[in-house]
Structure 1
């Protein structure tokens, strides 16, 4: 079991071991019932003291992640099954633990496409709100007019026509980028991965918001990065704290979602955007500006992008098309300047030699069309209705001690519970009612923030939203009532 130990980051070795194993358990990389290495083998493999290994395992057991059985070892905790397995010869795969991997966590994948009926766990848009019929017509027309598209490879950098259209499209956001500086990727997840594999290696410092998009945490952690976090408030990343962090630890990359932040939905103020650029310029640091859905605003347009103010090539700008047009096409756009772009293009070539040409040609007619502009306007209206519905339900039904953000756009809403409530326990209860959401721990690098959750109001209709939020509030009421009853002191009878 590969665990990266970083000895000069101010985090105890036992806590690093603990967190690495927790991340793997929550990611499904360590299955229930699997036997972990003995503390002696672990301490020898990681070159840490036996006391350190014992402390990590003891904390894992105390927090309910493992069971230690005297004389047998330590096992990933197994849930009680409804049906007992029949006794039969089941092949053992324990030998596979001897094969080292380099996947410290992959939490986001576990919640991305949950099977529950009321799907609140992933930031996707209801397929019924997308221009499917028009898109089908365009795909058919593209194929009928260009059947050879099925028989040829696309350009590594991306289709030249699409990049030209995207250059025009980005100008609407103030991003002045030529087609030569645009790279088409297989969704924004690949964009982030290309940046990480190009510029981030073991021990490099990456600064991220806390909380942040869990898919990005998974990628940077997989590169062995030292991830430092900066909290967000109503105006986005706390620049005062960022300044202090940068003075002590020079980062190579600052990853930010300034517009309709995922998961909180907040918007970074224009003042802070300028301050962030100033910091990056002064320390020669890359800013990765992740912008998946800035067009989905409800009241007013967000401030201009960081990239539109970037004069020295510090910003790598990512814009997604998957969410608002055709998720199955998995089209993302990356734009950067100078040698940074050239190196990212080389990484793309190494990764897959270019994204599928057919899907690029298919969305081409939509990018700057009037139909797309009208579709985006309608989408804003539909999603605002769903956001407002969730806010109204939470206001009227949620118990005392529950709070939430009010997103000005985007697809997500961040909920904070009383500190003693673990969102993983809430999720286990919600799943019994066919409801899913994203536990807040997936959005933190440390995994210690257990009392938060992210819900996405964009994927299911109003009826299911009402049922889902109402049920969650009922579960929370029951949990809080149960705690109050357990804490009520016994009656004392006075005899006089």
Structure 2
């Protein structure tokens, strides 16, 4: 078969494979970043105008773009509706950015670890993925500066608020410092914020794009973690110099985002109904996080270290005796437990062994202890076999 050269770089999605295996009802899954079904809101379609079944604008519904721009301005982002594009999920922003910037060998910058699907998209287009380590409050700034001085990447991709997978939230100081570095070196920022609203312990920080003075930027978000992932409605907001190019790429990809989902999102975003829903969501997930933390202390305190996440959907565990957690997938699934190995979240997975991402939002609390107990036992057995 005469496929494109790019297809040789196409890797199957590990998370999709694990989620497929986890569909069996007996499997206790900590793998995906799935919202809890109990918190998916009831939606009403009765007032949707018939015109929503017609083709629409590539940029998105005008009323929805206005609302999204207003929400962003409330966060400190200097923008108007002409800079907003409604997407088929926020992941489409990464696809469009990759098409805009990446040729084979193009250097880009990523956190280590970073969002697995972003890594897959950028590598598919042939990017050379450079990375810098994360600390508890954000990037290792010295390492980031060295990379910027040595390489001059075309863009940097960051998830500064409850990062997936590590749950790190950048401090105000680190956000200011990152913005200053990107302005200094003229590097475009892609800032991904799907978890911003899932904040359990108070405190907030304005987006890094709001602190830029010179560098170009793309800011992206979604309703998948707060409303319904099945709507597949996300958005990007960009600096004016990038928007026309991104719009043409969107037009060539899918004409426009589904208008039915956009209409439903518009019934929620910016409303009191949404504010009440978010408050309930935070309370619900806070309880699940706290229960997960107690269960981890019981079953994993001798095996791993972790920070309690202040938001988002994940715990990030670092094993005290590191080894490749990808080797645990098969024995864990044999014990009807699914999880995400940490290695694939790194641009150089074989050099970053010994971590796990565990989702706390979706599993039934009644099965939580049994699932973590089985996973801990799988790890202990593997460590004992390694030591033998």
TM-score category of the 2 structures, normalised to the smaller one:
over 0.9
Distance in 1 separating the partners of 2:377 and 2:174: 39
**1:11-68 residue CA offsets vs partner (Å, 9 max, x unmatched):** xxxxxxxxxxxxxxxxxxxxxxxxxxxxxxxxxxxxxxxxxxxxxxxxxxxxxxxxxx
Among candidates 187, 192, 199, match of residue 285 of structure 1: 187
**1:222-256 residue CA offsets vs partner (Å, 9 max, x unmatched):** 11111111010101111110101111111101111
| Matched position secondary structure for 1:346 | helix
Q: Tell me which residue corresponds to 2:231.
A: 329
What are structure 2's unaligned runs of at least 5 residues? none
Q: Tell me which residue corresponds to 1:272.
A: 174
Shift of 1:112: 6.6
| Matched position secondary structure for 1:299 | coil
TM-score, structure 2 normalization: 0.93
What is the number of residues matched between the two proteins? Answer: 381
Instruction: Let me know the Cα RMSD of the aligned residues.
Output: 1.8
Q: Tell me which residue corresponds to 2:47.
A: 141
Contact 1:260 1:294 (8 Å CA) reproduced: yes
Distance in 1 separating the partners of 2:295 and 2:209: 37
Q: Tell me which residue corresponds to 2:264.
A: 362
Answer 1 or 2: higher relative contact order, Cα 8 Å, separation at least 6: 2
Contact 2:165 2:357 (8 Å CA) reproduced: yes
Distance in 1 separating the partners of 2:301 and 2:180: 43
Q: Tell me which residue corresponds to 1:296.
A: 198
Among candidates 9, 17, 20, match of residue 114 of structure 1: 20
Pairing 1:153–2:55 present: yes
**1:353-406 residue CA offsets vs partner (Å, 9 max, x unmatched):** 111111101221111111110111111111111111121111122262411232
User: Structure 1 residues 310, 100: closer, same or farther in 2, change over 3 A?
Assistant: closer
Pairing 1:390–2:292 present: yes
TM-score, structure 1 normalization: 0.74
Pairing 1:163–2:69 present: no
User: Structure 1 residues 109, 396: closer, same or farther in 2, change over 3 A?
Assistant: closer
Among candidates 408, 414, 434, match of residue 336 of structure 2: 434
Shift of 1:140: 2.8
**1:67-146 map, 5 Å:** 96=1, 99-103=3-7, 104=9, 105-111=11-17, 113-116=19-22, 117-131=27-41, 133=42, 135=43, 137=44, 139-142=45-48, 146=49
Contact 1:390 1:469 (8 Å CA) reproduced: no
Pairing 1:252–2:154 present: yes
Runs of 4+ in 1 over 4 A off after TM superposition: 98-101, 481-484
Q: Tell me which residue corresponds to 1:50.
A: none
Distance in 2 separating the partners of 1:389 and 1:101: 48
User: Structure 1 residues 100, 197: closer, same or farther in 2, change over 3 A?
Assistant: closer
**1:345-356 map, 5 Å:** 345-356=247-258
**1:368-387 map, 5 Å:** 368-387=270-289
Q: Tell me which residue corresponds to 1:180.
A: 82
What are structure 1's unaligned runs of at least 5 residues? 1-95, 487-496
**1:443-454 map, 5 Å:** 443-448=345-350, 449-454=352-357
Distance in 2 separating the partners of 1:108 and 1:193: 18
Contact 1:313 1:338 (8 Å CA) reproduced: no
